Amino acid sequence: METLEAIETRRAVKHYDPDHRMTDEEIEQLLSLAMKAPTAFNIQNWRFVLVRDPELRKQIRAAAWDQAQVTDASLLIIMCADTKAWEKDPARYWRDAPQEVQDFMVPAIDQYYRGREQVQRDEAMRSCGIAAQTIMLAAKSMGYDSCPMDGFDFDAVGELVNLPDNHVVTMFVAVGKQTKEAWPRPGQLPMSEVVIENSF
């Protein structure tokens, strides 16, 4: 599927075939594409929790207002981020760059993030949002549907997956084979309302 078609046809699908299984190769392809998503300073702060345990999925569904896609989709990815990725051996993020680039970028990472907790959290949300969209478009291109989700108890889910310190849960992405079409698009704002030239 062409990229433009994937963008046009991607919808938040709620109903999935619970018997469908993605192959390991498909899952690896999907995640490898997700890992191509950009992050500020290339810190790659996203962490993708693949929930494969059926019992854990049931517990997560209970913490997600009993939304069926949590258990029925072929793949449930909890999008998390390490807010301290920036300080964990940052030279590794630039190890393949020319030396002059490394000499500039590696110190810049520390200068940008140190002491800026809100920036660290904001970057986590941005990074995971971009990666989630990458997953959804890649899934559509692979013949699957998806659903981004933030309707759940974030603290409860964090406990269920043993979320480490300095990590945040940002959202879910469910991926699978739909059994029911999404509703028609409920209402698109006109471009004139959302596109602003130069300033408000």
Within a domain: 199: no
Within a domain: 164: yes
Rg of the chain over all Cα atoms, to the nearest angstrom: 19
Within a domain: 14: no
1: CB partners within 8 A, 6+ apart: 9, 140, 141, 143
Terminal alpha carbon distance of the chain = 37
Within a domain: 37: yes
Within a domain: 150: yes
pTM for the full predicted model? 0.95
Domain count, the chain: 1
Please give the residue range of the domain that contains residue 165. 3-9+25-180
Within a domain: 168: yes
What CATH number is associated with residue 92?
Answer: 3.40.109.10
**pLDDT for res 191:** 95
Instruction: Provide the residue-wise pLDDT of the chain in tens; the chain has 200 residues.
Output: 899 999 999 999 999 999 999 999 999 999 999 999 999 999 999 999 999 999 999 999 999 999 999 999 999 999 999 999 999 999 999 999 999 999 999 999 999 999 999 999 999 999 999 999 999 999 999 999 999 999 999 999 999 999 999 999 999 999 999 999 888 889 999 999 999 999 99
